[in-house]
Structures are given as structure tokens and as C-alpha cells.
Structure 1
Amino acid sequence: MRILKLLIVLLSFPIFAQQGGMWIPSMLQGMNENEMHRLGMKINAQDIYDVNNSSIKDAIIHFDGGCTSEIISPKGLLLTNHHCGYGEIQSHSTVENDYLQDGFWAMSMNEELPNPGMVATLIVSIHDVTNTVLEGVSQLSSESEKQKKIQDNISRVQTTFPKEAWQENKIKTFYEGNQYILFVTETFKDIRLVGAPPSSIGKFGSDTDNWVWPRHTGDFSIFRIYAGKDNKPAEYSKDNIPYTPKHFLPVSIDGIAEGDFTMVFGFPGRTQEYLPSFAVEQIVNTLNPAKIEVRDAALKVQDGFMRKDQAIKIQYASKYASVANYWKKWIGESQGLKKSNAIQLKKDYETEFLKQVAKNGKQAQYGNLLSSFEKNYSAINDYALARDYFIEVALRNTELLSAGFRLYQLEQLYKAKGEQAFNDRKDNTIKSFESFYKDYNAKVDEKVAEKLVALYLEKSPLLSSELKALDKNKIVSEVYSKSKLTSYNGLKSLLEGDANKVLKNLNKDKGYLFVKKLADNFYANIGPKYDEINLEIGALQREYMKAQLEMFPNGRFFPDANSTLRITYGQVKGYNPSDAVYYEPVTHLEGVMEKYVPGDYEFDVPTKLLDLIKNKDYGQYAENGKMPVCFIATNHTTGGNSGSPALDANGNLIGLNFDRVWEGTMSDIHYDPEICRNIMVDIRYVLFIIDKYAGAKHLIEEMKLAHPKKM
């Protein structure tokens, strides 16, 4: 019985289907729809996804490639998280007009701020193209040949599948390559900032409260989609008009209660629910600890500077938040995987899997899958660790090195494709670096580099003899005192002239030469072998996924997240994170005051909000004299779901997804319905801040407020 119970919990389907899973909205009809109705949903699957008529999916937007947003008015008003719009809010901020500190509210459309490069993508339709993509693949012998054939087929289908001229076709893989689905999309390129609360509201609790419950964060910002006069996507123009959507979400102000049905609709980024135990063990014991240590060192340095200098705080606010986000997530993930005994659960499941293989007489086909996994994960260990060190140190957390690596890619482009390609990329590179150096501080970056380069040279495996010979105490000071990569003018001077002159200049620069040593070592000693073994692991994972579907035909396997449109459904519910501790599912403004620390950059509260709280001036948005702020539910979410709408049983907007509880961040790998909860800001708090705090009543008037519980 114990093995069977573990199997059910691990799969999270037969008993806990409503609490785990990220389902493709075009495939809800049947068992998913029936379960949603049993949980309290009052609409139908066709109301959620319909190709021929307007449906909820027409209001769900992939926000700038990384978050989710939703249309909440007939004039293209977009709601997403404050942290999703953080970079744009910061880019419009100066010391004189600090929108991060003070907030921003456009009181008319003329005041809405354009954001060059920002995009918003809408899903038009979804189509299964598996048979066409896998055509001619099965008879090929090597994995590399199979992947090449698949890519050729994908390219052909994307080119030939019917669409309008302004639309795009995008094919994504599901079930580890056992299914392929095509999405017809429309991408809007004129997205303007409409409103954002100050960080003391939109980021209340900052990094201390990140991934934590109870939460009191008004994590929202507002944008607007503009289109051409034909209502189709268009580049920015002052003549563009607000987009008229096929559907926008009505906003419920009736609130929520424990047990209420909830549905989150969005673009979850990546999950790995079907990894074997060997992979999870490597993540917990090797990869996560290394990445956590690197980011911990970087954050301590940046935080020290940000607390002392307001200009640096503005420069590094978005960068610090980005680095801290996954640093804290990895810590919680590792703790959760250990606490939930996920590795042993995986091993128990694998034992049951092998029994089913033997029972079905499939030993020849599937009997060696797990032993092959074990062999390959052992072989890839040092390469995976060295790869993570290179990415974390050279590409993500040391800015001069990341800039130098882009120039390294420029040199490789010249060698591969010649001078014309080099010149085209060079011009774009120079232009793109302008915004990079606007928020760059060489003094801060040098101190970060001192810590991170030392870690890299001490702990990364597979270093070349040349790197091992470097003096970690001197190399960073030499780079930052002599390299021209510490300023935008310096970088531009390195890129002046034809290709030969540029490459000659680059290869004299101390910073560039150090990056080149790191990159050359990666591409000679790490990357190729990692890719080779990982390709084999990918093939095993695809076969393992196929085998699980076959061995457990009654299991309901949702596809791992891959930044495609998904539905996850559940209920508003509290939870027990540990013995004798129970968390209620809703927080209120009283909790803001309990955390309030005057002058603290994480827990300060704006004077106007203090006055509203003191006077209990909550308008129509309070419940029993209390102002709700956030709530939690059992929806299975991940990165990319930030900004996703939380919908009630009727498809009305009740909240805005922005986080998960720390105890459950391992849900990307192992979902435990007892403790995994997603965190949402209550839509009533959003409306309260817009109306009573910002005085932007025109935005409220633009929405359609609903009272579903009074109907």
C-alpha cells in the first residue's frame, strides 16, 4: 500500500488532479472540465478556449516574453505584476523623478509612457501537429539525426501553416518530445506604462518577504496595448490607438472565501516534474548549492552599496531583485525537496515503474532506462557544475564579464560569417550597450567580481591550466584598472573601425582577454561534452516519458511547463507548513502595519497609505471593515505565471498571481498538494490603491466591475 500511495502522490493525478497540473486550454474538455465543475466552476471549457468566438484566452497576454498579463478593459488596459514592469518603471526613473520610490500614474492617455522593445503576445489558436513534426523520424538511428529531422519538419510546418500576414506560427514540444503543438500568435509592439504604485506598496517586503507567506505586497502595475488604426499590431507611433480586444476580464469586487474555486491562466516558464531520482539528487546536492553560493556573494556586495547610495540603489534595484529572486527560490526548493523526501519518493516510484515494465513484458524496451540515467547523470556531473559556474559568474552576475562575452560572440561571428555579418552585429551591439551602461557602476561591479572570480577559480571543475595559473587576488584589479569595458565610451572606442581594427583592439584589452580565457575554456573543455551527454539524457527522458504514459495508462500526466498558455485550477486554502502552525489563506492591511518599519527600504509605508489605514478609508473594496491584501490557493504555478489572472468560478478577475510560498517552491520538480500554494494580490487591494491612494478613478471607470456572489 505504501508504494501505491507514493505513486499516487508523486503523479498528483488520480486523487489530487485539481491541485496539481498545468493544462493546455484547448484540451480541457472531458475529465479536466468535469473536475473543474466539481470544484465549483460555473462556466464551460468553451468559455475558456474557443477559436471561433471570443473567450477568456483572448484576454491573456504573454507579457514581454517572461511574465503574464491580462486585458481588463475594452481599451486594451493591461494588468501585470509590479515586478514584471519593474525594469520599465526603473528605466523611466531618475533621481529627480523616481517612479520606483514615488509611483507613477498617467491621468490621461497622453501621459502614458512608451517602452521601446517591449512586446505583448496574444494566442490566436492552438493546433496539434505531432504527426507532421515526427514524420520520417522513427527510422533514423542517431539522436542527432532525429533532432535535425525534427527541426527541419518544425521549420517547414511553421512556414506553411495557414495564418494572417501579421501573425506568427510557433511550435513547442510537449511530453519531452512526444507531442508537438503549434500556436498562432499576434505580437503587439506599442506597450505604454499607465500606472504603478511606489515600491513601498508594489514591492512591500522586498527580498525578505519574497517567496514568503503571510504576504502583504501590492504587486501590480498597469500598461496599455496600442495598435494601428486597423486594430492590428504596429510599431510605436503617436498615431496608434488603444487596442480593442476580443475579450477583456470583468473584475469581481465580491471577494473570496476559503474553498472558493480558483483558476490561474498564464504562461508558466519551466517545470521538471518527471525527472528521475538521479537528476533531483544532483540538483539538491551539487548544482543548487553552487549557484546559491555565487549569488549570495553577489547580493551581499550589491546590498552594501545600495544601502549607502540612492543613485546606486536606483541603478541596481532591478538587477538586485533579479539576482535575489532565484537565489532565494533555489534555497527554498532545496529545503522543500529534502523536507518532502522527494528523492526517496522518486526512487520508490522508479521501483514501481520497473515492476510495471516487467509485468507488461517491456524489459527489452524500457528495462535499462533507469540504469542508463544513473550512468549519464554521473558522467555529466562535473560538466554540469562547471557550466553553472561559468553561466553564473561570467554571464549573469559579473557585468563586465557579461559585456565582454557579448564581444567574444562578435569575434566568433566574424570568424564564422565574415565582415558583413560582423558589422551588422557591431552596430546593434553598440546601440544596445547604451542602456546597459546607464545602470552600470564599475566600482560595485569590481567588488562583485572579486568575490565571484575567486569562487570560480577555487571551485569550478575542468579549468584549463592557463586559468589555474591565474592569481585570483590580482586578476580582477588588473582587469578593472586597465580594461575599457568599464565605461560606455571605452566600449565604443574598442569597437571603432573595421573588423580587423576592432579585433586587434579587443585582443589588447585586459577585460576582454580574461573573458576570452573563460569562454575558450568553456567551449573547449565543458560545453561540447556537456551537450553530448545532455543530448543522450534528453533522448532517455523522452523515452522515459513515453514509457510512463504507457505503463500507467490511467494516470493523468500534464505536460511540463514550457512558456506556453496553460490553465491550472484549485481552491482558496490555508496550509500547515510545520507542526502546530497553520496559515490562514487571506491577509489584510493590519498585517502591513505589523511589519511597518519607518524609513526601511523593505517595510516602509507611504504617508498617504498610513492615513487611509488610520481612517479606514477603504471605499467599496473592504470586507467587514477590513481591507484584504493577498490570498493563497492550491493552483500549481511557476515562474512565468507572474502577472497571471486568478479567476473565479464565473471567469471574473479576483486576483493577480505573483509568487509561491517558500515551503512549496520545489513544485517545479515535485508538487506536494499539502504545502504548495500560489500567492496572489487580491484584486480589491489593486482597485483600492488605484482609486483611493492614486486617485486614478478614470481607470476604475474603464473597467467592468462585477458582483457574481450577489447574482
Structure 2
Amino acid sequence: MIKRNILIASAFFSFSLGIAQQYGGMWIPTELNEKEMKDLGMKISAKDIFNTQKPSIKDAVVQFNGGCTAEIISPKGLLLTNHHCGYGQIQAHSTVQNDLLSNGFWAKNMETELPNPGVTVDFIVDIKEVTNQILEGTDKLQDQDLAKKIANNIEIYKNSQKTESYQSITVKPMYYGNKYYAYVIETYKDVRLVGAPPQSIGKFGSDTDNWVWPRHTGDFSMFRIYADKNNKPAEYSKDNVPYVPKHYLPVSIKDKTENDFTFVFGFPGKTTEYLPAIAVEKIMTEIDPARIAVRDVALKTLDEKMRTDDATRIKYASKYASVANYWKKWIGEVEGLKKSNAVQKKVMYEGSLVSKNHEVKATLDQLNKLYNDQAPFALNNAYYTEVVRNAESFALANMYSTHIASVESGKMDEKGLVAFKKKLTSFYKDYSAELDSKVTAKLLALYANKTAPQFLPEGFDKYKNEAQNIISFEEMSKNSVITGRNQVNGAALNGDIEKAFSNQDKLIKTIKKDPVYQLFMTIKDTYMKTADPQYTSLQAKIDVLQKTYMAQQMSTDKDRKFFPDANSTLRVTYGKVKGSTPRDAVSYDYQTHLAGVIEKYVPGDYEFDVPQKLIDLYNKKDYGMYKDKSGDVPVGFTATNHTTGGNSGSPALDAHGNLVGLNFDRQWEGTMSDINYDPRFSRNIMVDTKYILFIIDKFADSKWLIDEMKIVK
């Protein structure tokens, strides 16, 4: 239950209100808090950041492959993003014989850059508020009628706009549906890999250092955008030419000092800054701990195998990193919410709102009841979704379940079938049935032990013993078609997929009798009957009330300047270069250096090995123009920019709009900033441009890439 410690919360709330507004926020670039940015030290104008009438910084910032951010740093379409954002592409070009993950890759010229089918970059051409058009005629509507009317209005708006064949329009809700914005997007489809350091640099510190400061990771990779002869988007072709951008970012190698102004421009994924206290409490005490428990089991099992087998390490590298990323984030989030007294701050803020507007109390009372009613179903949802995601046998079974339902309802056409087979081929490429069998067996035991009895299939107690599960599930897996260890239509699904699908009726009948599939469907059917409808229904009611609560916050708190929660749309956040003191007697500087890489170096280690050439450069102090006033090469730095997932790869810019760093992470003590930004702990972590250029120039001997850039000294 929420402890209403008024004195502590009151003191903390006043502290936070005074500081958080100075640094927190993910602002729509057409609605920047320009005065505050300039007060903090920005020398350019808001029009230099986002302008549809002439080139501006927004023309150099793209969404990379639908998730991360990237930026253009040369007049020839050279693109910079994180190593972990390009990891899937680096992995796709890797084999045991030619391991680009371990060895790195550097094209010697444009002709040797590597194509990446399916990878896209999106430019934002324009942003317009369209609230009146989208909410027209919705005043008296509710539930499905309201959703249907809004969807219809969105389609009417999109159809009324003129766009090029390579452009699209998306309309996004803001402030929980109280406002709507339209984005004109231009998509380029020929994106080639130019360079990537070995993962001993690009992923240095790996999982141990993930979300941690001090950090010494060279988390960057380089791509290039190609276009047709008219500089327009085109599918991959050898005849395409490097894209000529409207704007590209100059790269600064000036020294940084504490309190320098910075801003980050990118596509943050999701935040929930305006939740009620009860929601934050549930996340902190129930939902996050459940997710952490599932991933903890999966990661430990994968890690045991990956450390001893190179083929498995390569096969599972990207998946492991994906699973580990939010596992560690959630651990930090729980600790940060507790340490920052997030629930108590929310309680006090709610009290201040109620004192100004008594209608807020009725909304909060309803929200409290709904969250408490939803709690058991939400907990089961957390366990179920995480188990299905991390037990690959069940993830496969779930995919086949959806496919079978589509076929049997007559909704599966040839295009859908081709897409499904392509999805399966991609999944099986990096799949080990033997390893998955062990992971799934352990997660079965966790699910059986952690889930309340009313949400479990009858007789599920037999899966509580992990050791027994490992034996029994391995037998199931060996006899399974969907794991690829048994055949259908004379072929394995992870081998000749076309032959396996040659008789789809037989395939479906075989899958329905598959032991792994049947076990999964028992779990899924029980979840769909006992938890999902209740969870979904209550969430729909919560969402309606959250929209009301958001509107009440904005209309009641006249002293607060509100920004919309992140939703993968283009945003600007700003702050200052700064260290931190996250715990008693612990103080972090804002900058790390190459010397710190060498201090952490452990020969042959999975996470902390480094290439001999980097050691040689360090020993010779062969730093060129990339050292700072300390005489060492700066590697990373922290600032108070309010970032989240999706900001990976975002440019960190100085007061003049020059690139000074590449955002790639947050400090572990501040990962709760998605829910509760706290200026004392919330720090984003960036690779210093000096280190990036040092690696490209001195380590990779790729000065031809440096020569493309505009270097600000």
C-alpha cells in the first residue's frame, strides 16, 4: 500500500519541482521551450533546430530501422548510430569464418560498403497539430464508437493531404489523446554498412557495464544512405548514389567542461511521466519484479552456453543483448523509484491538484480502485507475456497458433503466407532447439511456482520441478515439429521451409498434435480465459480515466509547462554536462577516458577484452588531435538530458548545434526517469565524438571517412 509520508514527500516534491522543470522534458521540436534552452546556454534558435522553409538540424536526424535514432555527418549521406543499433546488421554479415562482430568491419571505399535489405531510415519532413480535425464529432462518443470515429477522422485527414510516393503520413495522439499531431515521413530504403568497431570496443563492458557509469564503451557504427540519381528514395540498386542531405552535422572535437549546454535530438520510445501514484506503486512492487525474475532465468541459461560455444555466441548475440537490456533497466528502475521516493512525490502532487480542483479527487479515487482490481490480472499478464517471449518454443507455438487461426478463418492470403515463412526463416536462423529446451523447461517451473493457482491449467503442479522439466521437455522438444527436430511433409521447418509447407493441411494437422504446441495452447487458453479479458477490460477503463486525469493536470497546474510522454516521435531534450552523486560517499565525474578502458581490460574475457592495437595506441600515446586537456582520449560523458529507449544513436549537440556525442544509455541509478525524472540521478550517457573519430582514424585506419566530415576544432 502507498505510505503517505507527507513530510518527506513534501520536502522532496518542492525540491524536484524547482529543478526537474529546468532539465526534464521531451519536447516536440515545433513547440520547444526556447527561452529556457537559451537561459541554459543555447546559442542557436529554435528555427535552426526545426524548420520546414530552409535546411535545419532536423534534416540530419533520422529514425533508424524503425527503432533507434541516427544522424547524418557528411555531405555524402554518412550515417552515425550506435553499435547496438546496427548490431543485427553486423551479425547478419557475420559467420564463424568471417566474424564481423568480433573483428569489426571497415569498408575501404564506397564500393565495399555492405547492403542491408529491409533496413530503412525515416526523415520527418513536417509536424502539424491536427487536434481539431481528429477530434471533430467525438464529444458525445465513448469506447468503440469513439475509437472508430477517431480512426475514421485520421483516415480522412491523411487522404486529404498530398504526398509523394515515397512519403507517408502518420497521426499520433499526445497527452493520452487530448491532442493529435500529424507527421510527414520520407523513407529511404538503401542503407549500407560502412564501419563498425569490434564488439570488444563497440560493446566493451557488455552486460556488466550496461546501464552503468563510469562507462567506457565505443558504442557506435556507421552506415550510408543511398538514393537514386535524383536524390530520391529507391530500393537497393548498384546504380544508386550516396544521398546528398539538406543538412549534416559538423563534428566537434572541442573539450567539454561541466555545465556545458547540450541537447539531444531523436526518437524516444515510451515514457509514462503522468501516471497516478497507485500505478507507479504497482510497477515498482509487482510488475517489474515479475519481469525481472523471468529474464533472470533465461539470461543465466543462455549465458552458460554462449560462454563455452562460439557458434551459439554468434547465433544468440543479438537476442541475448535484447533480453538483457530491459532486464537490467527494470532492476535499476525499481531501485530508482524507491530511492527517489517516486510514489510519495506523486501522492503529494495529487494532493496539490485536489486542493486546486476537487474534480481531480473523483478521478483519482476511480483510478485507485481500477488499479487494485486489475492487480492480480496484471501480474499474471507480466509473467505470461515474459515467459512466452523468452521461452522460444512457446514464442514459435504462439506464431503458429496465430497463423493457423488466420488460415482457418480464411484470412490468410498468399502475401501473408510469404511474409510468415520469411518470418519463420529469420527466427530459425538464430535458433537452437537444444538450448531453447533448457530455457523453456526452467521457465515452465518458474511460471508454475509464481502464478496464482486460478490462472494455471488443471494439473500444472507437475511442472514445478525444474530438474524434472529439463528431462521431460527435452523429450517433447525432440518429438516436436515446431522446434525443427522432427519433420513434416518430409522436411524440417528450420531446414527446407518450402517443402515443409508444401501440404499446408497436413502441416496444420501435424502442428496441432505437436507436444510443445499442445502444452503451449493449454497455457495460452487458460490465460485467455482467466486473465486477459479482465486485464484488457480494466486497462481500457484506466486509459479513459488517464486521459481525463491528464487533461485535469494540464488545466489545473498553471505553473507547470507540460511536454507529452514519448511515443517514438521526434523530440528534443536538453540539459547540461554533469556528473552525479547517486549514493552516500559516491561521486561520479562527467567524463571517462581511454585509461579507464585499459584499467578494466581483462585478456580473453567475454566482456572486457580489448584489441591489441588499441593497447598499442594507448601505450604509445598515439592520440593525434583526439586527446583532451588531460592528455588522454575522452571516451564517454554524462549530462542531464532526459532520454529513454529509442534515443539510442541520437546526436548530442552543443550550444551551436555541433555534434559532441552519441547517446547510447542512461545511468543505472536514473533509469526510473521513464516514470519519474529526478535531476539528482537522471543522467544520459554518450560516446564522446573524440573517441569515435579516434577509433575511425587511428584504430581502423579509415581516415577517408574523417575526410568526409566537417571537423570543428
| Matched AA of 2:397 | G
Deviations 1:296-317 (A, max 9, x none): 0001101100111111111111
Q: Distance between the aligned counterparts of 1:327 and 1:122, measured in 2?
A: 31
Give 1:499 deviation, angstroms. 4.5
1:130-279 to 2 correspondence within 5 Å?
Answer: 130-140=131-141, 142-279=142-279
User: What is the CA-CA distance between 1:381 and the residue it aligns to?
Assistant: 1.1
Deviations 1:229-286 (A, max 9, x none): 2211111111111111111101011121111110000000000111111111111111
Conserved 8 A contact 1:25-1:567 = yes
Alignment of 1:509-548 (within 5 A): 509-548=514-553
What SS is found at the alignment partner of 2:531? helix
Report the Cα distance in structure 2 between the residues aligned to 1:493 and 1:55, rounded to whole angstroms: 49
Q: Which residue is equivalent to 1:408?
A: 401
Secondary structure class of the residue paired with 1:293: helix
Cα 1:598–1:610 change in 2 (3 A) is same
Match of 2:373 among 364, 372, 379: 379
Tell me the amino acid that sits aligned with residue 17 of structure 1: Q
8 Å contact from structure 1 (residues 121, 186) kept in 2: yes
1:100 matched residue in structure 2: 101
SS at match of 1:138: coil
One-letter amino acid of the counterpart of residue 373, structure 1:
L
Does residue 369 (structure 1) correspond to residue 366 (structure 2)? The answer is no
Q: CA deviation at 1:471?
A: 4.1
SS in 1 for 2:195: strand
1:21 aligned onto 2:21: no
Structure 2: which 5+ runs fail to align? 1-5, 486-490
How many Å separate the matches in 2 of 1:65 and 1:87?
Answer: 13
**Which letter does structure 1 place at the counterpart of 2:377?**
Y
Equivalence for 1:639: 645
Instruction: From 475, 489, 492, give the equivalent of 1:490.
Output: 492
Partner of 1:630: 636
**Cα shift at 1:436:** 1.8
**CA apart distance, 1:512:** 2.0
Are 1:465 and 2:457 counterparts? yes
CA distance in 2, matches of 1:511, 1:422: 27
| Structure-1 separation of matches of 2:10 and 2:172 | 33
Matches within 5 A, 1:564-643: 564-624=569-629, 625-643=631-649
CA distance in 2, matches of 1:656, 1:340: 27
Q: Specify whether residues 470 and 117 from structure 1 end up closer, same or farther in structure 2 by C-alpha distance, changes over 3 A only.
A: farther
* Structure 2 CA distance for aligned equivalents of residues 467 and 423 of structure 1: 40
- Matched letter for residue 702 of structure 1: E
Partner of 1:664: 670
Q: Deviations over 1:559-589 (max 9, x none)?
A: 1000000000000011111112211100111
Q: Distance in 1 between matches of 2:315 and 2:157?
A: 44
The verdict on how the C-alpha distance between 1:61 and 1:9 changes in structure 2, with shifts beyond 3 A counting, is: farther
Residue 556 of structure 1: aligned partner: 561
Q: Which moved more, 1:618-627 or 1:502-511?
A: 502-511
Letter in 1 for 2:323: V
- Which of 422, 433, 438 is equivalent to 1:447? 438
- DSSP-derived class of the 1:238 partner: coil
| Residue number in structure 2 paired with 1:112 | 113
Counterpart of 2:43 in structure 1 is 42
Is the 1:6–1:348 contact (alpha carbons within 8 Å) kept by the matching residues of 2? no
Q: Is contact 1:478-1:510 (8 Å) kept?
A: no
Identity of aligned residues (%): 54
- Structure 2 residue matching 1:632: 3-state secondary structure: strand
Q: Say if 1:494 and 1:502, in contact at 8 Å, map to a contact too.
A: no
Per-residue CA deviation, residues 123-181 of structure 1 (Å, 9 max, x unaligned), is: 000000001111111112x3232122112212222222232232000011110111100
> Match for 1:278: what amino acid?
I
Q: Which moved more, 1:439-448 or 1:40-49?
A: 439-448
Q: Secondary structure at the match of 2:409?
A: helix
Q: 1:84 to 1:237 in 2, by over 3 A?
A: same
Given the two structures, how large is their TM-score scaled by the length of structure 2? 0.94
8 Å CA contact 2:73–2:249 kept in 1: the answer is: yes
The answer to whether the aligner puts 1:72 opposite 2:73 as a matched pair is yes
1:164 counterpart SS class:
coil
CA distance in 1 between counterparts of 2:206 and 2:10 reads: 42
- CA distance in 2 between counterparts of 1:425 and 1:498 reads 16
How many residues are treated as equivalent by the alignment? 692
Structure 2 distance, partners of 1:230, 1:528, is 52
Residue in 1 aligned with 2:704? Answer: 698
Matches of 2:185 and 2:196, distance apart in 1: 28
The structural deviation recorded for 1:498 is: 4.9
Note if contact 1:494-1:505 (Cα within 8 Å) is conserved in structure 2: no
Distance (whole Å) between structure 2 residues aligned to residue 175 and residue 428 of structure 1: 35
